[in-house]
């Protein structure tokens, strides 16, 4: 966001953004997996920004699709028109979506998608005559966006803290985080059952017919660092939701669109969600776009009920965004592309295991496809984290940038628990030798940061 001060002095004009207080280089150009800054330094985009740039930068076919659309029409309001590109994108997404998700609502980003999904879920129950349902259950140590509803769903207490009095009420249960929470001697099945019991207890505590939806990321990105569920977890969660008529919203804003090696991460769990949110990789960074995929059941409640989803933004179904996403989705859904995600993902995991598996300060290396996380600890045996004041995750990011690598760091106090990790999520077009360079650079960065 541009935030010019009330002053004619150019020196006084600053950009207010995330890194206020810290000087960042200016991104000058991007090509393939590389970003070049204004000093001519080149970086491997090892995190695709924040798991956004799935096709890398400057992809000629996406740029051409955007140019072509710009020459036709850049904007048309949805109260007057639909567009061929938006319809084509919707058809493409439905064809690729997990079975049962037959409708699409196009928005402009991840938070908007989560916000829309939450409102759809609430309106669904109003339409079917269950207006008493008013609770959302999410998981601790989660992130679903920064708008008020999505922020409320997110389970990071420190993020919510100062906005708490104006946030809608939400409720939280434990995430599926085997590295820290699966007990010694506990099987994955028993761990999954324990978490499902916790969800059931929470539903009963709130009222068996008062819960709207449970929302979770199939593979947790930003807040935990590519943590996937144990086997059985989502099938058990789905059956608890079914038992109480609770909708299941899966947030695939970060882990969707091929990132984990399948188009949707939930395909690997063998369940059908009621609503799925996507963004990031959908536009590949070329345009701001997000979407909610919804089931026939939810859609029909509006169609046969009030006839309208009570929502909307000026930029829904934006033609430029739809044109870019259409091409992005066409390219990433090619079998060779997803095969490369899986192959390069395995190479990345193997490389990280070899380089860092025995490292005294690397607790866990995990993930799926080109979505990998490294958890940093002070003590490998006890899994004790570093003192948060050391900001180990930020140090690693800095050391990585000094070595020409972008990785996505996260750390600090997360709901009373502390940890540092870095996320790697390079573009799907990456080649083996470039994976090896990422391994070498992140290895060097971690060595230097913990020294």
Contact call for residues 292 and 104 (beta carbons, < 8 A): yes
In residues, how long is the chain? Answer: 451
> What angle is formed at CA 55 by the lines to CA 253 and CA 17, rounded to 5 degrees?
55
Crossing angle for the helix pair 335-356 and 432-450, to the nearest 10 degrees: 30
Residues 217-236 that bind ligand PMP (CB under 6 A): 217, 221-222
Considering the complex, what minimum distance in angstroms separates the CB of residue 195 from ligand PMP?
19
Nearest-CA neighbor of 110 among 153, 78, 79, 68? 153
In what side-by-side order are the strands of the sheet with 34-37? 27-31, 34-37, 42-44
Alpha carbon distance 309, 76 (integer Å): 20
Residues 385-424 that bind ligand PMP (CB under 6 A): none
By C-beta, is 247 or 282 nearer to ligand PMP? Answer: 282
By C-beta, is 256 or 385 nearer to ligand PMP? Answer: 256
Classify residue 91 as left (phi > 0), alpha (psi -120 to 50) or beta: alpha
Binder to ligand PMP among 253, 331, 430, 449 (CB under 6 A)?
A: 253
By C-beta, is 111 or 301 nearer to ligand PMP? Answer: 111
Alpha carbon distance 257, 269 (integer Å): 15
Considering the complex, what minimum distance in angstroms separates the CB of residue 108 from ligand PMP?
8
Residue range at the interface with ligand PMP (CB under 6 A); choices 28-36, 179-187, 248-256, 325-333: 248-256
Radius of gyration, alpha carbons of the chain:
22
Considering the complex, what minimum distance in angstroms separates the CB of residue 319 from ligand PMP?
19
Residue 279 vs residues 252, 329, 331: alpha-carbon distances, Å: 8, 12, 16
Residues 107-146 that bind ligand PMP (CB under 6 A): 109-111, 114, 143-145
Quick count: other Cβ atoms within 10 Å of Cβ 63? 14
By C-beta, is 156 or 326 nearer to ligand PMP? Answer: 156
DSSP 215: E
Considering the complex, what minimum distance in angstroms separates the CB of residue 145 from ligand PMP?
4
Q: Site size for ligand PMP, by CB under 6 A?
A: 15
Instruction: Please report whether residue 173 would count as binding ligand PMP according to CB under 6 A.
Output: no
By C-beta, is 118 or 377 nearer to ligand PMP? Answer: 118
Alpha carbon distance 253, 55 (integer Å): 16
By C-beta, is 294 or 362 nearer to ligand PMP? Answer: 294
101: its two tokens: 């998700």
Contact call for residues 282 and 329 (beta carbons, < 8 A): yes
By C-beta, is 49 or 188 nearer to ligand PMP? Answer: 49
Supply φ then ψ for residue 128, to 5 degrees. -95, 10
Binder to ligand PMP among 65, 254, 265, 410 (CB under 6 A)?
A: 254
By C-beta, is 86 or 423 nearer to ligand PMP? Answer: 423
Binder to ligand PMP among 251, 269, 420, 434 (CB under 6 A)?
A: 251
Residues 32-71 that bind ligand PMP (CB under 6 A): 50
Residue nearest ligand PMP, Cβ-based? 110
Binding site for ligand PMP (CB under 6 A): 50, 109-111, 114, 143-145, 217, 221-222, 251, 253-254, 279
């Amino acid at each position: 966001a541009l935030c010019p001060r009330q002053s004619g002095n150019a020196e006084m004009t600053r950009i207010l953004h995330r890194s206020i207080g810290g000087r960042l280089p200016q991104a000058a150009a991007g090509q393939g997996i590389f970003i070049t800054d204004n000093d001519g330094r080149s970086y491997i985009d090892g995190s695709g920004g924040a798991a956004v740039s799935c096709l890398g930068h400057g992809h000629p076919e996406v740029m051409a699709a955007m140019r072509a659309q710009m020459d036709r029409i850049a904007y048309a309001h949805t109260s007057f028109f639909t567009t061929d590109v938006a319809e084509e994108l919707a058809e493409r997404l439905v064809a690729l979506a997990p079975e049962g998700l037959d409708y699409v609502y196009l928005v402009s980003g991840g938070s908007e998608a989560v916000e829309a999904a939450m409102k759809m879920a609430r309106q669904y129950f109003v339409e079917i005559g269950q207006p008493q349902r008013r609770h959302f259950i999410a998981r601790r140590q989660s992130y679903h966006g920064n708008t008020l509803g999505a922020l409320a769903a997110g389970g990071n207490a420190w993020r919510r803290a100062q906005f708490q009095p104006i946030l809608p009420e939400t409720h939280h249960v434990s995430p599926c985080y085997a590295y820290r929470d699966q007990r010694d001697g506990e099987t994955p099945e028993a761990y999954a059952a324990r978490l499902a019991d916790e969800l059931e207890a929470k539903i009963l505590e709130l009222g068996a017919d008062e819960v709207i939806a449970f929302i979770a990321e199939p593979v947790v990105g930003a807040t935990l660092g590519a943590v996937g569920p144990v086997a059985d977890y989502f099938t058990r969660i789905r059956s608890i939701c079914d038992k109480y008529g609770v909708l299941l919203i899966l947030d695939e804003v970060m882990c969707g669109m091929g990132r984990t090696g399948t188009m949707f991460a939930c395909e690997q769990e063998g369940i059908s969600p009621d609503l799925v949110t996507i963004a990031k990789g959908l536009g590949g960074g070329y345009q701001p776009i997000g979407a909610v995929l919804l089931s026939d059941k939810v859609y029909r409640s509006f169609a046969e009920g009030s006839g309208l989803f009570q929502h909307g933004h000026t930029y829904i179904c934006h033609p430029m965004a739809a044109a870019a996403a259409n091409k992005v989705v066409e390219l990433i859904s090619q079998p060779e592309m997803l095969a490369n995600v899986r192959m390069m993902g395995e190479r990345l995991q193997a490389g990280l295991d070899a380089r860092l598996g025995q490292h005294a300060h690397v607790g866990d290396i995990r993930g799926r496809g080109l979505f990998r996380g490294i958890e940093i600890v002070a003590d490998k045996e006890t899994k004790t984290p570093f003192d948060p004041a050391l900001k180990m995750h930020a140090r690693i990011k800095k050391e990585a940038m000094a070595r020409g690598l972008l990785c996505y760091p996260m750390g600090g106090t997360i709901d009373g628990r502390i940890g540092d990790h870095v996320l790697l999520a390079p573009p799907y077009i990456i080649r083996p030798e470039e994976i090896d360079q990422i391994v070498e650079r992140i290895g060097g960065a971690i060595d230097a940061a913990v020294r």
